Structure formats: structure tokens, C-alpha cells
Amino acid sequence: MDGQYRCKTLIVGAGLAGASLGFLLRKAGDDVLLLELLDAKEKDKLCGGLVSGEGIRQFEAVYGPNSFAILCSSRIDRICQRFSGCELGSQGNLWALPRKRLDDYALRRYRETDGRLMDRVAVREIDEAKGVAVGDDLRKGGRFSVRFDRLVGADGAMSATRRLTTGRAPRVAIAVESEIPLFGGEVVLDYLADAIGYSWYIPQGEKAVVGCGVCAEAGVDSIRIVREGATDFCRGMGIPVPSRFRGAPLPIGNDVLLRTGTRTFFIGDAAGLIHNITGAGIDCALLSVRFLANAFLRGDSYEETMRSCVEEVVRLSRDAKKTQFLTRFLIMRCHNKTKHEDRIS
């Protein structure tokens, strides 16, 4: 073994969830080691970057009052929801920013606590009973091992921690996205006609992203649907079709797992916490971070405090078809009402 390390809390994944948990634990004096697969400076998570009022509340509960404001996000006043040629403008308490800004901030705050970080490493084996993880150092080559008291899987939708401790991979759906020049200031969400999902255009300050996601298990069919969905959407909007879309997995939402064994816990996408249909996961990820930190530091029950969030995630996933139908119905009704009011005025 080329390197041997010891820590109280080993967190796998230095995304928003992992870095934020590391920050809270380090602030309380915990001995943390954060492992990241990618280059920590360069990694750039695929994400619409839409943050709800609830997401901001959770973010500021972790990082303090006004911490979100300094990230210079743009307020989204109008979200144009569409399907089958029908349009509706709505006010929304939403903000948008390039996702990298959010993740870099979380990691910087963690590092300011003198938190330990090893990036470009891949965990290959986990022995929960002994509290040992073994991994490869992808930068320098060679193997390393870490002894831990507790382990946190924060390694996203494809969580290797989850696969290595439970023997099975989480269920995921697929989304594609591409960065484009700014095309306009409003968010456009265009529901797909023949699948549960939607395409999006989201302005993020100086630039924007277009993408498409479906609430169906990833496979050849869903990859084709999201590619075609994003391409058709760009054409419909009069946006030049990007030469390349990147793909990324999203948890399917009905496969939530908060812990396994006595010392392994999951947060964020690795736990499967995402709002089905909208694909929003930033607020759930931060909620799980806060509740797991409270469980470690104050002895709260992680499962108990997360109960209503998990129930909501599972319900949304179970009712995906119904919810999409209802959403369309409500949009249609509001649209008709708006048209009626326009006629009267």
C-alpha cells in the first residue's frame, strides 16, 4: 500500500453535498477526509443551476445569512412553460447561476477549515465491518487505504460507495445539456409530448444552458429521446443546435437509501434524493447534509429528520405520470384563463 490514512469521517465525493457536509463537520472540529474522483479545480457538474427559494434557505442554513447573494446569481422572474404549442408565463421565486460557482464555493469553504482533500482518486473496495476503504491514486498511480469510523457516500447518482457497500448500483435516468451563448432572459421549460420529461433553456448570467431530461430509467431509448428532445427544442426556439451535448445521470427518485450497515450513510444524489419530473436536487442535497451533520454532532436520527423529504421524493416519483398530467392540466387551465382575461381587458 503506497499511502495509509486515518480519519473519523470519510466522505466520498466532493460535490455540493460532500463539500458542504465536510464544511459543517470541520467547523465543529471533526476529523474529515474528503475523496474526489475528478480534478477538484476543473470538475464542472452538468446542471441547469436553477435554485429555488427552499434551496437558498438550505444553502444559507449551511453557509450563513447572505452567503447565496454573494454568488451573483440571476433572479428568474419569468418561467415560460410550454407544451404542444401552448405557452404560459409565470412568476417564480427562482434563481439561476453556473453550477461550478456553487460547487467551487462549497469546496473553498471546506478548505478554509483546513479540511483534508484527496482528488483524482477512485475508491475500489470498502470493508464496512473493519472500517477500511481501499482506492487508486489516479494522479500519481498506486494504491492507498483509509481507516474510518464512519463513511459517507456523497458521490452522486452513480455512487460507487453505494455499489460497493450494497452490491448494486442506484437506479438512474439520463439528461443531456450543453452550454450556449445567452439567447434571452427567461427560463423556458418545454414538456415532451410522448415521454415524461422536458427540455429547458436556462440563462445563467453571461451564458445559458439548453438540455433535456426524462423520468425513465437510462437506456438506449431514453438517450435517443433526450438527444432528439434537446435538438428539436433548439430548432423550435431558433437556437443553433450545439455540436455536442454532454450526458449525465440523475437518480430516479424511487430508490432512496439513507444508510446501510452501522456506519455508512448517503447524502444528495448518492442517497437518491431528487424531485422527480423537475429534476431539482440541490435543495434535497443540502437538507440531507444538514440533517446528517446534526445526526453526527447532536445524535439526531438521520432517518427520522429526513422522513418527510424522503416521502416527498418517493411520492413524486411514484406519481410521476399523474403529476405530469396534472401539471399539463393546470398549465392549460391557467393559459385559458389568461387568454380569457386578455379578451376582457
Ligand X SMILES: Cc1cc2nc3c(=O)[nH]c(=O)nc-3n(C[C@H](O)[C@H](O)[C@H](O)COP(=O)(O)OP(=O)(O)OC[C@H]3O[C@@H](n4cnc5c(N)ncnc54)[C@H](O)[C@@H]3O)c2cc1C
Q: What is the binding site for ligand X (CB under 6 A)?
A: 12-18, 35-38, 43, 45-50, 55, 122-123, 154-156, 160, 175, 177, 211, 248, 250, 268-270, 274, 279-282, 285
| Helix residue spans in the chain (DSSP H) | 16-27, 53-63, 99-112, 160-166, 220-237, 268-271, 282-298, 302-318, 320-344
* Beta-ladder partners of 330: none
Shortest distance, position 128 Cβ to ligand X, whole Å = 16
* Cβ-based neighbours of 26, under 8 Å, separated by 6 or more: 32, 110, 113, 114, 115
| Other beta carbons within 10 Å of 177 | 23
Please provide residue 333's backbone torsions phi and psi, each rounded to the nearest 5 degrees: -65, -45
CB 10 within 8 A of CB 145: no
**By C-beta, is 15 or 229 nearer to ligand X?**
15
Least distance between ligand X and beta carbon 333 (Å):
26
CB of 47 to ligand X, least distance (A): 4
Pick the closer one to ligand X by CB: 272 or 296: 272
- Least distance from ligand X to the Cβ atom of residue 339, Å: 29
Q: Give Cβ neighbours of residue 158 (< 8 Å, ≥ 6 apart).
A: 169, 170, 172, 249
Nearer to ligand X, 58 or 324 (CB): 58
Query: Closest approach of Cβ 320 to ligand X, in Å?
Result: 16
Strands 94-96, 50-52: pairing kind:
antiparallel
For ligand X, which is the closer residue by CB, 253 or 296? 253
Q: How far is the CB of 82 from ligand X (least distance, A)?
A: 17
> Which residue number, 15 or 115, has a Cβ lying nearer to ligand X?
15
Query: Minimum CB separation from ligand X for residue 226, in Å?
Result: 9
Q: Are 205 and 52 in contact (CB under 8 A)?
A: no
**CB under 8 Å, gap of 24 or more: what pairs does 124-129 form?**
124/164, 125/164, 126/151, 126/161, 126/164, 126/165, 126/264, 128/165, 128/260, 128/261, 128/262, 128/263, 128/264, 129/261
| Cα 318 from Cα 306, distance rounded (Å) | 18
Q: Which is nearer to ligand X, 12 or 306 (CB)?
A: 12
Q: Which amino acid is at 249?
A: P
Nearer to ligand X by Cβ, of 22 and 324: the residue is 22
Q: What order of strands is seen across the sheet that includes strand 79-83?
A: 86-90, 79-83, 187-191, 197-204, 207-217, 172-181, 246-251
Closer residue to ligand X in complex, CB, 52/338: 52
- Tell the smallest beta-carbon distance from residue 48 to ligand X (Å): 3
Instruction: Considering the complex, state which of residue 82 and residue 275 has its C-beta at the smaller distance from ligand X.
Output: 275
CB of 75 to ligand X, least distance (A): 15
Cβ atoms of residues 240 and 263 within 8 Å: no
